[in-house]
């Protein structure tokens, strides 16, 4: 067998070793039984088959680090860049004065005005891809928790539910002083404590269901069992697929009750039934998983033509490895330089200026994601355009829709995917200008909540994660001590320091999220300076800690140099040409708007990836064809 088959807790595989997910300690049979009895095994126990140093990347992330085999698995802890700071009983800390901090909503409305200003550089496609890659290391449960499981936090029932942490709307709210909305629904993030792995008297630590590795777990799932059940076709390495309205889709659920709450029934039926039902949530993720699903099958069928002697297993795992590498190449070498600056990232060592292999793996650093990494990137909600503009393949504007009404609404894509696709690289993102789209902060969850301010939730979650004050993160990033508001002048413009002063009495009271909202953008890039610092730290850790990182020559089933040089040709424009609906023309740098120096051209002129270097000579496959994708 090319890859090991994992078995599961319930089948008590004799070879398996069981680890406590939080500590990484080995558990004995009695301890595992105790978890099974308490129904906490799913969250608190990782079952790991013995590691084979020569095997490739496992779906569940185990054995990535051979010294610490469960690190890399789902439900393992995130690390904190700075120690948690909570009030008593792990409630959000108070201001230095001992008073509660200002309401999240009042901070948000003070720092981020509402309005729409299109950006002059970035496309919607960039925000779509950004949301997609981040979901690789997150999970949907903290959002589904208040949208589906506990929608009642603003009702009487919510008053006695400790999990409820609704956002209170101040009486002088700029919008809701004219409405009856006084409260917006929200729940606490799930933690090792809330799911029963750690005692409640310990510092709350977030728990997520994806692997902490960039391995497309939002698409392939987090265990071989789930991938086999929900994703794999077991034919030529392909994924299961459906054809509807002339388009290729991931499999869909056949039950009328599903997570696609916003589908306009009975007409809109499609809801993806893939390993992670969360793909049906925000539109960017849904689009990219649909497209990447097709890319997988395109590569798998090409490889099977090239290497007819390869079995399904080998085709599947080789294809997955290539698809992950292409996604990471676009993330590290195209999207991140666009946002954070190419020279900056080369200087930090996040990306290599050379095309050849690079290997900075360190087995002493375990694969993990910092708690701050996704949290600071919630800033992206401020550059999320609220309108979804749709175009035909000739670039003619057709119609528009509210993007917040697309969440949990896969059914709308069936008739509109090609128009949304064309719009993705023609429509600008919103400008990074301290202004946020009204839809994102008033009806952020569409019809699923009366009113939802996603940015206010971003700040509230920051407090429930127990993040240290903003100025401590500034010190971590710059080494500088900030004692007064005026000290912030190097990173925040004077008028925004004034806005912060209106809400916070002491400079130490400023929340991390609020500081980031107010910050200047990093030199040579287009993101706030502290966001930049936190993301750089994580990206470096990712490359250093992932034993199967695609740029490494010394990993099991590593790419040859010839193969890596093909992966280096990946671009989001080439990706869209390969799998985007009706895409025959696109600008070469599709995260940037088309225009001077980035004119739209035929897909024929966009550099393609050639799979010929994957040819296995022992197969006697066809030789005389170009195997381009």
- The site for ligand HEM (CB under 6 A) is made up of 127, 130-131, 134, 138, 142-143, 186, 282-284, 374, 377-378, 380-381, 384, 403-404, 407, 444-445, 454, 457, 461
Q: Which helix or strand (DSSP H or E) is residue 603 part of?
A: none
Per DSSP, the three-state class of 399 is strand
> What is 414-433 written as a DSSP string?
HHHHHHHHHHHTTSEEE-SS
Instruction: Return d(Cα 496, Cα 18) in angstroms, integer.
Output: 51
Closest distance of CB 393 from ligand HEM, Å = 23
Which of residues 127 and 563 has its CB atom nearest to ligand HEM in the complex?
127
**Minimum CB separation from ligand HEM for residue 26, in Å?**
30
In whole angstroms, how close is the CB of 155 to ligand HEM at the nearest point?
18
Sign of the alpha-carbon dihedral angle for 205, 534, 91, 455:
negative
Secondary structure (DSSP) of 272-308? B-SS-GGGGSSHHHHHHHHHHHHHHHHHHHHHHHH-T
- The β-bridge partners of 191 are 206
3-state SS assignment for residue 46: strand
Compute the least distance from the CB of residue 131 to ligand HEM, in Å.
4
Residue 201 has a CB neighbour count (10 Å cut-off) of 8
Contacts of 12 (CB under 8 A, 6+ apart): none
344 and 524 Cβ atoms separated by less than 8 Å: yes
Nearer to ligand HEM, 70 or 210 (CB): 210
Query: What CA–CA distance (Å, rounded) separates 572 from 336?
Result: 12
Q: Shortest Cβ distance from residue 130 to ligand HEM (Å)?
A: 4
**Comparison of 134 and 154: residue with beta carbon closer to ligand HEM:** 134
How large is the greatest C-alpha to C-alpha distance in the chain, in angstroms?
76
The answer to whether 313 and 619 are in contact (CB under 8 A) is no
Q: Which is nearer to ligand HEM, 237 or 284 (CB)?
A: 284
Nearest approach, Cβ of residue 415 and ligand HEM (Å): 19
d(CA 557, CA 615): 14
Q: CB nearer to ligand HEM: give 317 or 434.
A: 434
- List strands edge to edge, sheet with 45-48: 26-27, 17-20, 45-48
CB closer to ligand HEM, 63 vs 441: 441
Give whichever of 46 and 405 is closer to ligand HEM, judged by the CB atom.
Answer: 405
- Closer CB to ligand HEM, 207 or 471, in the complex: 207
Cβ at position 525, least distance to ligand HEM in Å:
15
Q: How far apart are CA 573 and CA 582, in angstroms?
A: 13
- Whichever of 457 and 563 has its CB closer to ligand HEM, that residue is 457
- ω into residue 266 within 30 of 0, thus cis? yes
Assess contact for 551 and 570: CB atoms under 8 A: no
The least distance separating ligand HEM from the CB of residue 141, rounded to whole angstroms, comes to: 8
Distance between CA atoms of residues 18 and 413, nearest Å: 42
Least distance (Å) between residue 580 CB and ligand HEM: 18
For residue 20, give the 3-state DSSP assignment.
strand
User: Is 176 a known ligand-binding residue?
Assistant: no
DSSP assignment, residue 146? I
Nearer of residues 148 and 393 to ligand HEM, judged by Cβ: 148
Q: How far apart are CA 297 and CA 316, in angstroms?
A: 9
Residue closest to ligand HEM (Cβ): 380
How many Cβ atoms sit within 10 Å of the Cβ of residue 36? 15
CA 124 to chain centre: 16
Strand partners, 26: 19
CB of 282 to ligand HEM, least distance (A): 4
Task: Give the pairing type, strands 118-123 and 601-602.
Answer: unpaired
For helices 572-579 and 312-330, give the axis angle rounded to 10 degrees.
Answer: 140
The DSSP secondary-structure symbol of 413 reads H
Query: By C-beta, is 237 or 423 nearer to ligand HEM?
Result: 423
Question: Contact, 304 vs 315, CB < 8 A?
Answer: yes
- Rounded least distance, CB 280 to ligand HEM, Å: 12
Where is the binding site for heme b, in residues? 381
Where is the binding site, in residues? 381
């Amino acid at each position: 067998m090319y890859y090991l088959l994992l078995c599961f807790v319930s089948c008590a595989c004799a070879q398996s070793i069981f680890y406590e997910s939080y500590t990484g300690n080995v558990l004995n049979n009695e301890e595992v039984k105790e978890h099974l009895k308490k129904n906490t095994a799913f969250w608190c126990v990782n079952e790991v088959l013995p590691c084979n140093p020569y095997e490739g990347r496992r779906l569940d992330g185990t054995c990535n680090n051979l010294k610490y085999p469960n690190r890399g698995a789902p439900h393992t802890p995130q690390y904190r860049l700075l120690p948690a700071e909570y009030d008593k009983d792990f409630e959000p800390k108070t201001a230095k004065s001992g008073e509660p901090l200002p309401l999240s909503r009042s901070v948000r409305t003070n720092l981020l005005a509402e309005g729409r200003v299109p950006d002059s550089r970035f496309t919607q496609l960039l925000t779509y891809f950004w949301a997609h890659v981040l979901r690789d290391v997150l999970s949907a449960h903290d959002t589904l928790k208040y949208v589906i499981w506990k929608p009642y936090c603003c009702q009487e029932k919510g008053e006695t539910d400790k999990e409820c942490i609704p956002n209170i709307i101040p009486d002088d709210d700029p919008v809701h002083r004219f409405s009856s909305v006084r409260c917006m629904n929200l729940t606490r993030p799930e933690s090792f404590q809330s799911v029963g792995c750690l005692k409640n008297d310990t510092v709350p630590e977030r728990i997520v269901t994806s692997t902490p590795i960039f391995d497309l777990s939002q698409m392939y799932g987090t265990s071989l069992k789930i991938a086999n059940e929900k994703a794999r076709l077991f034919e030529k390495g392909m994924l299961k697929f459906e054809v509807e309205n002339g388009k290729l889709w991931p499999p869909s659920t056949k039950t009328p009750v599903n997570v696609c709450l916003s589908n306009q029934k009975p007409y809109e039926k499609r809801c993806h039934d893939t390993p992670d039902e969360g793909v049906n949530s925000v539109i960017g993720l849904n689009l990219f998983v649909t497209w990447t699903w097709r890319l997988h099958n395109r590569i798998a069928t090409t490889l099977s033509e090239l290497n007819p002697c390869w079995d399904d297993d080998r085709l599947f795992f080789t294809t997955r490895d290539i698809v992950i590498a292409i996604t990471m190449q676009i993330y590290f070498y195209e999207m991140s330089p666009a946002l954070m600056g190419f020279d900056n990232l080369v200087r930090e060592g996040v990306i290599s200026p050379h095309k050849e292999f690079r290997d900075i793996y360190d087995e002493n650093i375990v694969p993990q994601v910092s708690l701050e990494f996704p949290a600071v990137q919630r800033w992206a909600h401020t550059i999320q355009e609220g309108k979804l503009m749709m175009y035909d393949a000739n670039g003619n504007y057709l119609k528009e829709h509210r993007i917040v009404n697309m969440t949990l609404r896969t059914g709308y894509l069936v008739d509109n995917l090609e128009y949304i696709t064309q719009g993705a690289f023609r429509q600008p993102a919103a400008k990074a200008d301290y202004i946020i789209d009204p839809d994102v902060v008033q009806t952020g969850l569409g019809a699923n909540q009366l009113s939802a301010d996603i940015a206010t939730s971003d700040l509230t979650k920051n407090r429930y994660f127990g993040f240290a004050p903003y100025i401590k993160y500034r010190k971590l990033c710059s080494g500088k001590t900030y004692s007064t508001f005026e000290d912030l002048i190097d990173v925040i413009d004077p008028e925004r320091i004034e806005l912060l002063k209106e809400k916070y009495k002491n400079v130490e009271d400023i929340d991390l999220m609020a500081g980031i909202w107010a910050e200047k953008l990093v030199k040579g890039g287009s993101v706030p300076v502290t966001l930049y610092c936190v993301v750089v730290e994580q990206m470096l850790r990712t490359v250093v800690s992932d034993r199967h990182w695609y740029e490494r020559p010394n990993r099991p089933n590593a790419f040859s140099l010839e193969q890596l040089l093909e992966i280096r040709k990946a671009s989001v424009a080439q990706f869209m040409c390969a799998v985007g609906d009706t895409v025959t023309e696109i600008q070469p740098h599709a995260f940037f708007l088309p225009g001077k120096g980035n004119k739209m051209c035929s897909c024929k002129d966009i550099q393609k990836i050639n799979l010929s270097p994957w040819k296995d000579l022992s197969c006697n496959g066809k030789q005389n064809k170009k195997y381009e994708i």
